[in-house]
């Protein structure tokens, strides 16, 4: 992203300046220890600063940006290990509502989300699927002027903080049809088993037992639901790849600074050639990962096949790079690198979770191979 406009450069500078000044490691640890999952005042402040509306079309009160503005935010959030669930509670639902929601749904939800007044979590992955968009384990039955939805979803990132869920469900009369529904988090028949992921995010296993959704609560139509679900998974994988790049950038920088002060055998270890080579390898993996992640984000608006191949290819490579950079960073920090008080251990956890969410490297390698065969 070298050729940014003046406005985009100013946006990046303001985001990085704010986070550097007000979102240090101590604040992250305090947020995790509180079990609140986020700072609501900070969330509203970001909304007032225009961060949530930067990539929103102007007709919804946004600034009319696109994937570049989203990339700037995700990379900065990854670099500062921001615990507030921007990806899961705002970016993902907003993207699918923009792409597949009706005009009335867009008018109803998008402005409220941009103002920081509404949070929506994506409940897509059936509990019996490791990485899946099938949704046949969750059933929607229509009757008495509403939909009754039953099934279980896991994990649902940000669910304990959400006002609404977007739930994927299939229809019992068809093996291939599915739909997305808006369901209130506190609606009868909705139960959440809350927990914290190893990188500090709040999540939940969501059980739906005849949960009610109104007849107008279907997002889009069943015809495009499968495409919408695939789009959400691709968007999440691409955006989380950008966050991983941000985390890797910070980890490389912190490790480079640490080896200049850590002493072994009577001198700082940064003078040893083997350490310099390891840092160079970390930097090389980071820069490859950055280019691939930017490419995946830029292809989110491409046709389905191009988008899917680009995202899966990025996830395969960046998963490997993230593991390498995270492991090297911890090793070069020594024993302190595994303690909770050391920031690098939190970056390591962030990068470890990245590989598991939204399809791991093995899943995306198989997907990329299959898509490449189809494209021939």
Domains of the chain, by residue range, sit at 6-119, 122-222, 224-375
pTM score of the predicted model: 0.93
Distances (CA, A) of 166 to 133, 163, 180, 223, 246: 14, 10, 6, 17, 28
Tell me yes or no: is domain 224-375 CATH 1.20.140.10.
Answer: yes
Residue 367 CA to residue 234 CA, distance in Å, equals: 12
Q: Burial letters for 37-57: b for 16+ Cβ neighbours within 10 Å, e otherwise?
A: bbbeebbeebbeebbbbbbbe
Task: Give the model confidence (pLDDT) of 115-132 as tens digits.
Answer: 999 999 999 988 877 666
pLDDT score of 234? 95
By DSSP bridging, strand 202-214 and strand 146-157 are antiparallel
Residues of the chain where predicted confidence (pLDDT) is lower than 70:
1-2, 130-134, 174-176, 223
pLDDT score of 243? 97
Q: Which CATH superfamily is domain 122-222 in?
A: Butyryl-CoA Dehydrogenase, subunit A, domain 2 (2.40.110.10)
Point out which residues pair with 205 in neighbouring strands: 193
Task: Give the model confidence (pLDDT) of 251-290 as tens digits.
Answer: 999 999 988 887 777 788 878 899 899 999 999 999 999 9
In angstroms, what is the C-alpha Rg of the chain? Answer: 21
Residue 186 CA to residue 253 CA, distance in Å, equals: 43
Whether 122-222 and 224-375 share one fold: the answer is no
Topology annotation, domain 6-119: Butyryl-Coa Dehydrogenase, subunit A; domain 1 (1.10.540)
pLDDT score of 215? 78
pLDDT score of 131? 67
């Amino acid at each position: 992203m070298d050729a940014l406009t003046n406005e985009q450069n100013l946006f990046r500078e303001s985001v990085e300046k704010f986070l550097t000044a007000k979102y240090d490691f101590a604040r992250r640890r305090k947020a995790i220890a509180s079990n609140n999952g986020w700072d609501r005042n900070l969330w509203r402040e970001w909304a007032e600063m225009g961060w949530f509306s930067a990539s929103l079309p102007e007709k919804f009160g946004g600034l009319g940006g696109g994937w570049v503005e989203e990339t700037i935010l995700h990379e900065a959030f990854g670099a500062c290990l921001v615990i507030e669930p921007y990806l899961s509670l705002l970016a993902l639902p907003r993207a699918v509502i923009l792409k597949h929601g009706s005009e009335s749904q867009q008018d109803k939800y998008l402005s409220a989300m941009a103002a920081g007044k509404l949070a929506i979590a994506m409940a897509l992955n059936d509990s019996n699927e490791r990485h899946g968009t099938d949704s046949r384990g969750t059933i929607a039955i229509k009757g008495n002027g509403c939909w009754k939805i039953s099934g279980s979803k896991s994990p649902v990132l940000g669910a304990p903080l959400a006002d609404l869920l977007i739930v994927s469900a299939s229809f019992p009369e068809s093996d291939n049809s599915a739909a997305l529904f808006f369901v209130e988090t506190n609606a009868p028949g909705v139960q959440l088993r809350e927990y914290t992921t190893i990188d500090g995010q709040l999540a939940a296993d969501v059980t739906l037992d005849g949960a009610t959704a109104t007849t107008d609560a279907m997002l889009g139509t069943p015809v495009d639901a499968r495409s919408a679900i695939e789009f959400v998974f691709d968007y999440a994988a691409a955006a989380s790849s950008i966050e991983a790049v941000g985390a890797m950038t910070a980890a490389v920088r912190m490790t480079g600074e640490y080896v200049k002060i850590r002493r072994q055998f009577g001198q700082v270890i940064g003078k040893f050639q083997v350490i310099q080579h390891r840092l160079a390898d970390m930097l090389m993996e980071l820069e490859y990962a950055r280019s691939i992640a930017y490419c995946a984000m830029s292809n989110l608006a491409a046709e389905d096949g191009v988008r899917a191949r680009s995202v899966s290819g990025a996830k395969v490579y960046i998963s490997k790079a993230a593991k390498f950079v995270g492991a090297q960073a911890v090793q070069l920090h020594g024993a302190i690198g595994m303690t909770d008080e050391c920031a690098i251990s939190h970056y390591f956890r962030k990068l470890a979770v990245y590989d598991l969410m939204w399809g791991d490297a093995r899943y995306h390698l198989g997907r990329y191979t299959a898509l490449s065969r189809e494209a021939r």
